[in-house]
Structure 1
Amino acid sequence: MVDIIIVLIVVVLLGFALKGTFKHMKGESPCCGGGGGSIVLDIPDKKLDNPVLGKKVLKISGMHCEHCAKAVTEAINKIDGASAKVKLSENEAVVSYDRELDEEQLKRIVKDVGYRVVSIK
């Protein structure tokens, strides 16, 4: 009898965990403290000091909501000479730069906030 109760408790807990995971992946949960999938955050554009030399497109995995996009944007914008615009629907960040950027530094910055750079073009 005790075994049946334990199994039922585990099944119920697993059900809640799966429900939360599915909501998170569909952007319906308060991902990263966001409060909902329909929130659009105001992320100010970073102005570069010098003329833009070029752009790099970073494909990023792991972003699920506007708060994820904001975290990536703010992290990249901390780099001198770099300005990011994150497109959540494309899972990418377009990084404009006014001086040469180290691609390994870009990958490390994105990884430090919890995401992974899949490719850089």
Structure 2
Amino acid sequence: MVDIIVVLIVVVLLGFALKGSIKHFKGDSPCCGGGSGTVVLDIPDKKLDKPVLGKKVLKISGMHCEHCVKAVTEAINKIDGASAKVNLSENEAVVSYDRELDEEQIRRIVKDAGYRVVSIK
């Protein structure tokens, strides 16, 4: 009888953990700053000093919500000569640049923000 009670407690705890994980990956988790559905954050556009030379498209893994988008945008925008537009539904960032960019620097700064660049085109 005690074994059944222990198993039921474990099942209930796993259920709560699964529910929390699903909310997190949908962007509704408080740890992502969510909790009230879709969140629209004010992310200012970064203006480049010189004319745009080109654009790079980064596929990024690990983004779950608009707070993740803001974190990636702010990280990339810290790079001199780079301006990012991040799209959560596409899991990508389009980076406009006015000078040559070091792709390893981009990968490193995105990683330092807690995400991973899967590819750069």
Q: Structure 1 length normalisation: TM-score?
A: 0.91
Q: Deviations over 1:54-108 (max 9, x none)?
A: 1100011111110000000000001111110101111100001111111111111
2:70 maps to 70
Structure 1 segments unaligned to the other structure (5+ residues): none
Look up the equivalent residue of 1:74 and give its one-letter code: E
Take 1:84 and 1:77, find their aligned partners in 2: how far apart are those partners? 6
**Partners of 2:101 and 2:36 in 1: how far apart?**
34
- Distance in 2 between residues matched to 1:17 and 1:112, nearest whole Å: 27
What number of residue pairs does the alignment pair up? 121
SS at match of 2:57: strand
The answer to whether the aligner puts 1:111 opposite 2:111 as a matched pair is yes
Moved over 6 A (4+): none
- How big is the shift at 1:31? 4.6
Distance in 2, Cα, partners of 1:106 & 1:37: 30
CA gap 1:115/1:53 in 2 versus in 1, 3 angstroms: same
Indicate how the Cα distance of structure 1 residues 22 and 35 shifts in structure 2: closer, same or farther if over 3 A, else same. closer
Distance, in Å, in 1 between the alignment partners of 2:85 and 2:56 is 11
Aligned-residue RMSD, C-alpha: 1.4
Q: Tell me the residue number matched to 1:19.
A: 19
- For structure 2, which runs of at least 5 residues remain unmatched after alignment? none
Distance 1:10 1:61, change over 3 A: same
What is the CA-CA distance between 1:25 and the residue it aligns to? 2.1
Matches of 2:31 and 2:90, distance apart in 1 = 18
Q: Deviations over 1:2-54 (max 9, x none)?
A: 33332222111110010111122233333522333311001000011111111
Taking structure 2 as the reference length, what is the TM-score of the superposition? Answer: 0.91
Give SS of 2:96's match. strand
Equivalent position of 2:91 in the other structure: 91
Whole-angstrom CA distance in 2 between matches of 1:36 and 1:75: 25
- Kindly provide the amino acid, as one letter, of the partner of residue 109 in structure 2: I
CA contact (8 A) 1:37 1:66 kept: no
Query: Is residue 31–residue 64 contact of structure 1 (8 Å, CA) maintained in 2?
Result: no
